[in-house]
Amino acid sequence: WSFNDFRLYCFPTSHGQKRKQKDLISMVSSLEPKIRENVSFRLHANGIYNLREILTKELGTFKFNDRAKDDVSDGLLSNARLYIGDSNSTTWLESLVINIPTLLFLSDEYLDHNKNILVINKAVENKMIFSSSNDLANWLNINYQDINKWWKSKQIQRIRKDLVKKFCDEID
Protein backbone atom coordinates (compact mmCIF):
# COMPACT_ATOMS: atom_id res chain seq x y z
CA TRP A 1 0.00 0.00 0.00
CA SER A 2 1.36 3.39 -0.91
CA PHE A 3 0.07 6.95 -0.97
CA ASN A 4 -1.12 8.41 -4.24
CA ASP A 5 -1.21 12.10 -5.01
CA PHE A 6 -4.98 11.92 -4.84
CA ARG A 7 -6.91 8.79 -5.62
CA LEU A 8 -9.94 9.23 -7.88
CA TYR A 9 -12.76 6.75 -7.60
CA CYS A 10 -16.52 6.93 -7.46
CA PHE A 11 -17.42 4.32 -4.86
CA PRO A 12 -15.70 3.02 -1.77
CA THR A 13 -14.53 -0.54 -1.81
CA SER A 14 -17.09 -3.09 -0.64
CA HIS A 15 -15.71 -3.19 2.91
CA GLY A 16 -16.07 0.58 3.16
CA GLN A 17 -19.58 0.84 1.75
CA LYS A 18 -21.51 0.30 5.00
CA ARG A 19 -19.37 2.83 6.86
CA LYS A 20 -19.87 5.33 4.04
CA GLN A 21 -23.65 4.81 4.21
CA LYS A 22 -23.67 5.32 8.00
CA ASP A 23 -21.61 8.50 7.64
CA LEU A 24 -23.94 9.83 4.96
CA ILE A 25 -27.02 9.10 7.08
CA SER A 26 -25.38 10.69 10.11
CA MET A 27 -24.49 13.83 8.16
CA VAL A 28 -27.97 14.31 6.69
CA SER A 29 -29.64 13.51 10.02
CA SER A 30 -27.52 16.21 11.68
CA LEU A 31 -28.61 18.93 9.27
CA GLU A 32 -31.17 21.49 10.39
CA PRO A 33 -34.64 20.65 9.02
CA LYS A 34 -34.80 23.61 6.59
CA ILE A 35 -31.47 22.52 5.06
CA ARG A 36 -32.30 18.82 5.14
CA GLU A 37 -35.58 19.29 3.23
CA ASN A 38 -33.59 20.66 0.29
CA VAL A 39 -31.18 17.72 0.07
CA SER A 40 -31.34 15.77 -3.16
CA PHE A 41 -29.28 12.61 -3.59
CA ARG A 42 -27.73 11.58 -6.86
CA LEU A 43 -27.59 7.80 -6.83
CA HIS A 44 -28.33 4.71 -8.86
CA ALA A 45 -32.05 4.08 -8.38
CA ASN A 46 -31.46 0.34 -8.46
CA GLY A 47 -27.80 0.21 -7.45
CA ILE A 48 -26.08 -2.90 -6.18
CA TYR A 49 -25.75 -1.53 -2.62
CA ASN A 50 -29.48 -0.71 -2.30
CA LEU A 51 -28.61 2.81 -1.18
CA ARG A 52 -32.00 4.25 -2.09
CA GLU A 53 -33.76 1.62 0.01
CA ILE A 54 -31.37 2.13 2.95
CA LEU A 55 -31.72 5.93 2.84
CA THR A 56 -35.51 5.69 2.67
CA LYS A 57 -35.56 3.40 5.71
CA GLU A 58 -33.24 5.66 7.72
CA LEU A 59 -34.24 9.15 6.53
CA GLY A 60 -37.79 8.77 5.23
CA THR A 61 -38.84 10.34 1.95
CA PHE A 62 -36.19 12.31 0.11
CA LYS A 63 -35.52 13.76 -3.32
CA PHE A 64 -33.11 12.00 -5.63
CA ASN A 65 -31.80 12.00 -9.17
CA ASP A 66 -31.04 8.70 -10.88
CA ARG A 67 -27.36 8.66 -11.88
CA ALA A 68 -28.24 6.58 -14.93
CA LYS A 69 -30.60 9.25 -16.27
CA ASP A 70 -29.18 12.63 -15.33
CA ASP A 71 -26.21 14.51 -16.66
CA VAL A 72 -24.11 15.83 -13.81
CA SER A 73 -23.29 19.20 -15.33
CA ASP A 74 -26.88 19.95 -16.31
CA GLY A 75 -28.16 18.97 -12.88
CA LEU A 76 -25.58 21.08 -11.08
CA LEU A 77 -26.12 24.09 -13.29
CA SER A 78 -29.89 24.00 -13.27
CA ASN A 79 -30.85 23.55 -9.66
CA ALA A 80 -28.01 23.10 -7.20
CA ARG A 81 -27.23 25.72 -4.60
CA LEU A 82 -24.49 23.53 -3.18
CA TYR A 83 -22.83 20.26 -4.17
CA ILE A 84 -21.65 17.87 -1.45
CA GLY A 85 -19.66 14.95 -2.77
CA ASP A 86 -18.68 11.84 -0.88
CA SER A 87 -15.81 10.83 -3.13
CA ASN A 88 -13.05 12.64 -4.91
CA SER A 89 -14.49 11.80 -8.29
CA THR A 90 -15.24 13.43 -11.61
CA THR A 91 -18.44 14.94 -10.23
CA TRP A 92 -16.48 16.77 -7.54
CA LEU A 93 -14.09 18.15 -10.15
CA GLU A 94 -16.96 19.15 -12.45
CA SER A 95 -18.62 21.10 -9.67
CA LEU A 96 -15.36 22.95 -9.03
CA VAL A 97 -15.01 23.78 -12.73
CA ILE A 98 -18.64 24.93 -12.95
CA ASN A 99 -17.88 27.03 -9.85
CA ILE A 100 -20.83 26.24 -7.63
CA PRO A 101 -20.29 25.97 -3.86
CA THR A 102 -18.74 22.58 -3.32
CA LEU A 103 -17.95 20.53 -0.23
CA LEU A 104 -16.26 17.16 -0.19
CA PHE A 105 -16.72 14.56 2.54
CA LEU A 106 -13.98 11.94 2.40
CA SER A 107 -14.16 10.23 5.78
CA ASP A 108 -10.84 8.51 6.42
CA GLU A 109 -10.22 8.25 2.67
CA TYR A 110 -8.64 11.66 3.18
CA LEU A 111 -5.66 9.80 4.60
CA ASP A 112 -4.95 8.29 1.17
CA HIS A 113 -3.63 11.49 -0.32
CA ASN A 114 -0.05 12.64 -0.33
CA LYS A 115 0.37 15.16 2.49
CA ASN A 116 2.75 17.14 0.27
CA ILE A 117 -0.10 18.33 -1.92
CA LEU A 118 -0.58 21.71 -0.33
CA VAL A 119 -3.76 22.56 -2.21
CA ILE A 120 -5.55 19.61 -0.57
CA ASN A 121 -4.31 20.69 2.86
CA LYS A 122 -5.52 24.24 2.17
CA ALA A 123 -8.92 22.90 1.07
CA VAL A 124 -9.19 20.98 4.36
CA GLU A 125 -8.10 24.00 6.42
CA ASN A 126 -10.68 26.20 4.66
CA LYS A 127 -13.59 23.77 5.10
CA MET A 128 -13.86 22.66 1.48
CA ILE A 129 -12.96 19.06 2.39
CA PHE A 130 -14.13 17.27 5.55
CA SER A 131 -13.12 13.96 7.10
CA SER A 132 -16.00 13.94 9.62
CA SER A 133 -19.67 13.81 8.67
CA ASN A 134 -20.60 15.59 11.91
CA ASP A 135 -18.07 18.36 11.32
CA LEU A 136 -19.46 18.89 7.81
CA ALA A 137 -23.07 18.99 9.08
CA ASN A 138 -22.20 21.38 11.92
CA TRP A 139 -20.27 23.68 9.59
CA LEU A 140 -23.10 23.63 7.05
CA ASN A 141 -25.75 24.36 9.69
CA ILE A 142 -23.81 27.51 10.62
CA ASN A 143 -22.81 28.63 7.12
CA TYR A 144 -25.60 27.50 4.78
CA GLN A 145 -27.39 30.86 4.62
CA ASP A 146 -24.18 32.63 3.56
CA ILE A 147 -22.71 29.82 1.47
CA ASN A 148 -22.28 32.01 -1.62
CA LYS A 149 -20.45 34.70 0.34
CA TRP A 150 -18.03 32.07 1.66
CA TRP A 151 -17.66 30.43 -1.77
CA LYS A 152 -16.96 33.71 -3.59
CA SER A 153 -14.32 34.86 -1.12
CA LYS A 154 -10.90 35.42 -2.66
CA GLN A 155 -9.27 32.71 -0.58
CA ILE A 156 -11.82 29.98 -1.46
CA GLN A 157 -11.78 30.93 -5.14
CA ARG A 158 -7.98 30.80 -5.18
CA ILE A 159 -8.05 27.30 -3.67
CA ARG A 160 -10.79 26.22 -6.10
CA LYS A 161 -8.71 27.41 -9.06
CA ASP A 162 -5.63 25.65 -7.69
CA LEU A 163 -7.60 22.38 -7.33
CA VAL A 164 -8.88 22.66 -10.89
CA LYS A 165 -5.39 23.43 -12.18
CA LYS A 166 -3.86 20.52 -10.25
CA PHE A 167 -6.43 17.81 -10.97
CA CYS A 168 -8.21 18.47 -14.26
CA ASP A 169 -7.80 19.82 -17.73
CA GLU A 170 -10.28 22.65 -17.78
CA ILE A 171 -11.78 23.35 -21.17
CA ASP A 172 -12.74 26.97 -21.79
- State mean pLDDT over 72-90: 73
Q: What is the predicted pLDDT for the residue at 26?
A: 92
Picking from 99, 89, 38, the residue whose alpha carbon sits closest to that of residue 63 is 38
* Count of residues in the chain: 172
Q: What is the predicted pLDDT for the residue at 10?
A: 43
Which residues are paired to 64 by β-bridges?
41
pLDDT band at residue 78, thresholds of 50, 70 and 90?
low
The SS3 of residue 12 is: coil
pLDDT band at residue 169, thresholds of 50, 70 and 90?
low
Most confident of 50-59, 73-82, 102-111: 50-59
pLDDT band at residue 51, thresholds of 50, 70 and 90?
confident
Alpha carbons 93 and 73: distance in angstroms, whole number = 11
Q: What is the predicted pLDDT for the residue at 8?
A: 38
| Residue 170 pLDDT greater than 60, yes or no | no
The SS3 of residue 89 is: coil
Q: What is the pTM of this model?
A: 0.81
- CB-based contact 82:101 (threshold 8 Å): yes
